[in-house]
Structure 1
Amino acid sequence: MNSLQYPIAEGDIAQFLARTPDFFERHAELLASVELSSGHDSRVVSLPERQARLLREKIKALETRVAEMIGHGQDNLVIAGKMQSWTRRLLQTAQARDLPGAIVESLAAEFQIAQAAIRLWGVDPAHAGEGFALDVSDDVRSFAASLSAPYCGVNGGFEAARWLPQAAQAQSLALIALRTGPDAPVSGLLVLASPDAQRFHSGMGTEFLERLGELAGAALSRLQAPLALRPAGHAEHVA
């Protein structure tokens, strides 16, 4: 029978080599004679050389990933240190009425936040005259209660942006709902602002901002009035 009438298919060859892993051990001379494209130019290289080049590329890619992981780890250590310093400042603030100012000042110092502002509702009547206790609209309260995660993006004329000392310079914002606990009603809103339109953007991660809001909300709970003393016209909005 003429074997040319039934040529061997590439799949048959591949299956044979897969089923016969010791083939090239018995025919090692074939490996040296196989020539392939280099993969980068028109030059032809031997199979061992091509394999060595692929291995070097894989090693280089792994080295790059390791370097990135180390860089991220170092960045995380820096952020953790700043968060610890910021939290320590809150713990060392003796007077409850000084907490909003301490939060804003330490955010600027530790995280290079250009502007920040805080408004709280349901505040103890003893603090009614403070700037952080100034009344806010029901729209702001409803918006804060609707935030399942911090809002990050352009300043689209939010009412809360007008709380900032230099509102006209706020190009991007992070709006963070404040709660006294994970399942507690929203008790305020923290506004972070930047003159850079890309500092806070919709694609950024918000986990860090969420943790920041939880810590701030817990610290600011010292300013809250008992439920029995809160004005009936300002019922809490529950998210």
Structure 2
Amino acid sequence: MSATQDAVALSDASALDDNQVREYLKIHSDFLQRHPDLLDHLHVSHASGSAVSLVEKQVSVLRERNMEMRHRLNALTINARDNDKLYERTRALILHLLDARDLAGLCDAFIHSMNRDFDIEFASIILFGEPAESSGNLRFETSEKVKLEIGSLLKGRKPLCGALRKDEFEFLFPKGSEVGSAAVMPLKGDNRVGLIAVGSTDANRYYNGMGTLFLQHIADVLLRLLERLPGDDN
């Protein structure tokens, strides 16, 4: 090719804009594969300010993607392990509940499992009825008193989570003398029969918007068992 032809070629090339080159490379995605020698002539600015070849840049991008995928895989693995642990603990809890022969045994199984297996600081189950002499963790309160003490926490069928006032916290958890947070789940089928609650002295442990599927699941199991088990005169 003559010098004149080179000049014309360069002139034509300079007439190409970025979009044309971009579209050409998109259509001819194997261009660099057919012309691998160009890889050493193409450079991309590095974060440090120095220039690196396109091959080096591609390797760097692949390494970053690989690290990102590893982080995602690690997160998925951790979540899977946590879910496995939760499943085993939930399974054990339900079996303990099924083994209960009366209401007192049912309440004991629920409280003990929450404290021991789930490492929950406070747990409570309150059934509606006339208060009677305490029998383990079996506790009855009239619906009127519950409404008076914590009526704002029992709206609807879904759990309510958040920080509580000192009087609310102490009513739910008589052994708790501090302000804290709790998740409160009404036990409500055809009729409202009571509630379950889990709590912590950490005011941020239970918060509005947190997942409550586990508590709802346990409440469904308890509702069915409460209808079948014998209790006291309540």
Which residue does 2:174 correspond to in 1?
A: 165
User: Larger Rg: 1 or 2?
Assistant: 2
Contact persistence 2:154–2:185 (CA under 8 A): no
Task: Give the SS at the match of 1:222.
Answer: coil
In structure 2, give the amino acid aligned to 1:69: L
The answer to whether the 8 A contact 2:163-2:180 is kept is yes
1:48-67 pair list within 5 angstroms: 48-67=55-74
Distance in 2, matches of 1:115 and 1:105, equals 10
Q: Does 1:205 align with 2:211?
A: yes
TM-score, normalization: structure 1? 0.78
Moved more, 20-29 or 216-225: 216-225
Inter-partner Cα distance in structure 1 for 2:217 and 2:208: 18
* Bigger RCO of structures 1 and 2 (CA < 8 A, at least 6 apart): 1
Residue correspondence of structure 1 range 27-176 to structure 2 within 5 A: 27-38=35-46, 40-121=47-128, 132-137=139-144, 139=147, 143=152, 146-157=155-166, 159=168, 161-176=170-185
Q: CA deviation at 1:79?
A: 1.0
- Identity score, percent: 25
- Name the Cα RMSD after superposition: 2.9
In structure 2, the gaps of 5 or more residues are 1-7
Q: Deviations 1:188-212 (Å, cap 9, x if unpaired)?
A: 1112111112221224211112112
The alpha-carbon distance between structure 1 residues 144 and 196, as it changes in their structure 2 partners (threshold 3 A), is closer
Partner of 1:190: 196
Deviations 1:8-42 (A, max 9, x none): 2211111112222333234221111111112x311
In 2: Cα distance, 1:117 partner to 1:24 partner: 68
Cα distance in 2 for partners of 1:69, 1:26 equals 40
C-alpha displacement of 1:56: 0.9
Partner AA of 1:113 in structure 2: I
**TM-score normalized by the length of structure 2:** 0.80
Q: Secondary structure at the match of 1:24?
A: helix
Q: Which residue of 2 aligns with 1:11?
A: 19
- CA deviation digits over 1:30-77, x for unaligned, max 9? 111111112x31121110110011011111111111111111111111
